[in-house]
């Protein structure tokens, strides 16, 4: 295990030391836990909503398409019109 020096804002340091004491652990263990949590979030990709561009260059919707009827849309997309 290596030793290192980190610089923290005074207020953050005080809060972290209080939290470590409240949990019955060391400041070092608390910092290590926080870093592990941050790194774990970066390693596991979050499912993000992807915006899909919709083009209306073709003149809009096909005749008879009702965007409020998902079953009919599915039938059209699968060629069952």
Return the axis-axis angle of helices 10-23 and 27-43, rounded to nearest 10°.
100
Looking at residues 67-76, what average pLDDT do you find?
83
Residue 23 belongs to some domain of the structure: yes
Q: Which domain holds residue 14?
A: 10-43
The reply to whether 24 falls in a domain is: yes
Task: Tell me which range, 1-10, 47-56, 69-78, is most confidently predicted by mean pLDDT.
Answer: 1-10
CA-to-CA dists, residue 2 to 6, 7, 52, angstroms: 13, 16, 47
Residue 65, domain member (yes or no): no
Residue 9 CA neighbour count, 13 Å, CB half: 3
pLDDT at 17: 96
pLDDT by residue (tens digit) across 15-42? 999 999 999 999 999 999 999 998 888 7
On whether residue 57 sits in a domain, the answer given is no
- pLDDT band for 62, please (50, 70, 90 cuts): confident
Establish if 25 belongs to a structural domain.
Answer: yes
- The whole-number pLDDT of residue 47 equals 67
Question: How many angstroms separate the CA atoms of 77 and 65, rounded?
Answer: 11
Please count the structural domains in the chain: 1
């Amino acid at each position: 295990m290596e030793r290192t020096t980190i610089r923290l804002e005074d207020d953050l340091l005080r809060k972290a030391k209080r939290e470590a004491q409240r949990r019955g652990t060391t400041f070092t263990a608390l910092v290590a836990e926080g870093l592990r949590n941050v790194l774990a979030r970066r390693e596991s990709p979050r499912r993000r909503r992807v915006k899909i561009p919709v083009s209306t260059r073709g003149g809009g919707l096909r005749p008879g398409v009702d965007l409020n009827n998902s079953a009919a849309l599915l039938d059209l997309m699968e060629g069952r019109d």
